[in-house]
Structure 1
């Protein structure tokens, strides 16, 4: 069966899958600062990406069957940005996690010139979302840099969990669960600039 992918008159889907796999391997070896993948299928797809640097880390995974379109991009500069969009007419499973070192201004310090201390609070922040969607669309964007920002958008039918947590002198925790027909928009920004 595998040989029919590469010989004349073989399975066209197999040729495209092999070409996509080769492109992914080459871009991974090249240490690309920008990586983008687009997959359109009427079969099944599984795509995972992860990355980390001194500021934080992210990981995302998606599996879908039936007719599905998956768009994924990852770019690195001062901030790492991860974007994942899945549109599926069948069932899909998605999971997304990001964490970062949060740096923000602390205006309560009175005289930083004489004490030699800077006016920065530091803490850790993490954001997650995952779910099983029968059909619909999922879009996640994460920016990891001097803080953590992004959004999660879900339109479809199924169930999902989402949440975030920050730990520093000021702690904040958010958790949620949604099931049934849903339209979810979750925006967040911890640290960084507005």
Structure 2
């Protein structure tokens, strides 16, 4: 972890392993090897992410404000829960893990639907981000109240779709979460078919 100390390419060694795949393996079906998370963007390797949009039955969505201590996008609005898929980790399990860590959702308590897949490819300060994001949606009861477990969320709000779109237009959501939230809203309106859940 000290090999790259002082360089301008590796910013935070995470001690987290992610899968390395061929560029056309957008479901991570045949991983080639694993690599430290901090090295993915300097080498422009694909990463895989999951994003959760919890909807109430009347169409409102829970969203989260990122902690002001976050290194990337502090204070911006985000999905209720989101994060990267670890090496060898099934996508559904990754979504359950992130939902518990970021929103206190008991594993197995939500029926999660995979509704969309975004492929994001753009330069970032760490190098090049190429991320395949799987968008997950779930219906929650009025008694559902997310609570953060890992210190990465400042607060949660339950918003009407119009209020969410207004914040996106004002640039108050992170780029990745704005795409995921809009995909969730499209699913809610019946504009997207469900995806098969990726295996790993």
* TM norm structure 2: 0.22
Larger Rg: 1
The one of the two structures with greater contact order (alpha-carbon pairs below 8 A, sep at least 6) is 2
Give the TM-score normalised by the residue count of structure 1: 0.23
Q: Greater helix share, 1 or 2?
A: 2
Pick the structure with more strand per residue. Answer: 1
